[in-house]
Amino acid sequence: MSLAGSQQKVFLRLLSALRPHWQRDANLPARIQSLFAASRAIGSRDRRLHRELIYTTLRFLPWIEPLLDTDPARAAQVTAWLAADLPATRAYRAATCGDWPACPPAVAAKAAQLGADAAALLPAWIGRHCAEAAVAPNLDALHTRASLWLRLQTPDTARVLDEFTANGWTSRCAEILPSALELLAEADVTKTKAWADGLLEVQDLGSQLILESAGVASRGRWLDACAGAGGKTLQLAALLGPSGHVDAHDIRPTALRELEARARRAGLGNIAILAAPATGVYDGVLVDAPCSGSGTWRRAPHLKWTTSAGQVTQAAEKQLALLAQFAARVRPGGQLVYATCSLSRFENEEAVTAFLAAHPDFDLEAPARDFGAIRRSAGLAILPAPHNTDGFFVASLRRR
C-alpha cells in the first residue's frame, strides 16, 4: 500500500472513532487530542495532516458525512480536496486528488463543483441570528482555517521580526492595527525567545479590536470580570499603562493560574488576580461574557453542529444577568464594555438593548474607532471576512 493509501486508511479510522461524538460533544478537540495520544503509530507529521483533515471534515460535515456511508474513499478524496494547502497536506492531496481541478476559494464555487448545497454548511438558525454569516464573503471566511494572530507587547518590533526571519517565518502587520501581527508560517511561537521574554501573545486580531474600539483611556482602575486565561486582561493592562490597574476574576481557577503566568512573562505588574468576585467600584469594567462561541467556528467548526438555537437563548439570558451583576461595579461616569465571541444578535445587540431598558443610568457610547466593523443598533459586529479574524461583538456603555 502507498503512503497516501496508508494515511487515508488511518484517517478514515479516526473519523469512525469520532463520528458518534461530533454532533454532540462540545469538547471534541480534547477528544481528538486523546485519540492522537492513544495512537502512538501516528507521528507528529502525520498528526498535522490528520488534524487538518479532521477539521476540514467538521467544516464541511454535511457534504462529507453522507459519503462515509456510501463511498468512504470518495469522502476521503473530497476532504483532501477541500483541505488547506499546507506543507503537512500537500503530498497527500496530490496523491489523493491530484487530478482534480484546483479547489476554488469561494464556498459557492466549491458547492457547484461537488453538486452540493452551500446553505447546508451552517445550522439553519444562524440566518435569523446573523444574516451576514450565511452569505459571501463571511460564509467563505467561516470555511477556511483561522489565521494565527499575535499581539506585540513591545515597541521594538525588530526583536520579534528578526527572530521570525531567522527561523524562516513570514509574517505581516495588520494595516488597521500595527501592534497585531499575522504569522503566515506554520510555527510554534511558544518555542521562541520573543515569547519567553514576553514580547508577544497569541490573540486574534478581532479580539484585539474589542478594547481598541472601546477607546480605553490610560490610567484608571478596571475590573476584568470574566477574565478567563487573560488575553484581553493583558491587553487592557498595557492600554492602561503603569499608572493603571486591572483586577481580574474568573470562576475557573485553572484559567486564572494561566493568566498569572502570562502576566508574569509579560512583565506586567499592574494586574491583580482576585480569588473572589470584586466588591468595589471601578473606572471601567470589562464583561467578556461566556457565549455560544459562534464567532469561533473557523477554529472550532464542531460547534456548528453541537450548538442549538435554544442554547443561544440560554446563553443570552446568562449574559444579561452578568451585565446586570457587574454594572453595579461601575462608578458614576465609568465605562462598561460588553463583548462576546458570538455572531448572534440575541447574545449581542439585543442583550445590550435589554440591559439598557432595565438600567436607565447607562447610555450607549459610540465606538472610538469602528475599524470597518458593522455598526449595529447597540454595538459593533466584527465579522470574519473584512480582516480575516474570528467573529466578535463589542458595546461600550457609560454610567451617568
**Can you give the CATH number for the domain in which 372 is found?**
3.40.50.150
Closest-CA residue to 209 (of 367, 379, 371): 371
Burial class of residue 302 in the structure, from the number of CB atoms within 10 Å of its CB (0-12 exposed, 13-18 middle, 19+ buried): buried
Could you tell me where the beta strands, DSSP code E, fall in 196-329?
200-202, 221-224, 245-248, 271-273, 282-288
SS3 (DSSP) at 237: helix
Grid cell locating 309: 438555537
Q: Same domain, yes or no, for 24 and 110?
A: yes
Q: Are 125 and 312 in contact (CB under 8 A)?
A: yes
Which pLDDT score, from 0 to 100, does residue 45 have? 80
Q: Within a domain: residue 134?
A: no
Could you tell me where the beta strands, DSSP code E, fall in the chain?
148-152, 171-174, 177-183, 200-202, 221-224, 245-248, 271-273, 282-288, 330-340, 362-365, 374-376, 379-382, 392-399
Residues 18-32 pLDDT 10s: 999 999 999 999 999
Q: Same domain, yes or no, for 215 and 361?
A: yes
Catalytic residue among 97, 130, 226, 341: 341
Q: Are 223 and 178 in contact (CB under 8 A)?
A: no
Q: Same domain, yes or no, for 245 and 380?
A: yes
pTM value > 0.85: yes
Residues of the chain with pLDDT below 70 are none
Burial class of residue 253 in the structure, from the number of CB atoms within 10 Å of its CB (0-12 exposed, 13-18 middle, 19+ buried): exposed
Residue that is last in its domain, among 101, 116, 131: 116
Burial class of residue 233 in the structure, from the number of CB atoms within 10 Å of its CB (0-12 exposed, 13-18 middle, 19+ buried): buried
Which pLDDT score, from 0 to 100, does residue 79 have? 98
CA 240 to chain CA centroid, Å, is 24
| Straight-line distance from the first to the last Cα atom of the chain, in angstroms, rounded to the nearest whole number | 72
**Structural domain for 178, as ranges:** 148-202
Q: How far apart are CA 331 and CA 49, in angstroms?
A: 52
Which pLDDT score, from 0 to 100, does residue 39 have? 81
Residues 85-108 pLDDT 10s: 999 999 999 999 989 999 999 999
Residue that is last in its domain, among 173, 202, 231: 202
Total domains in the fold of the chain: 3
The CATH number that applies at residue 196 is 3.30.70.1170
Active-site residue flag, 341: yes
Which pLDDT score, from 0 to 100, does residue 218 have? 87
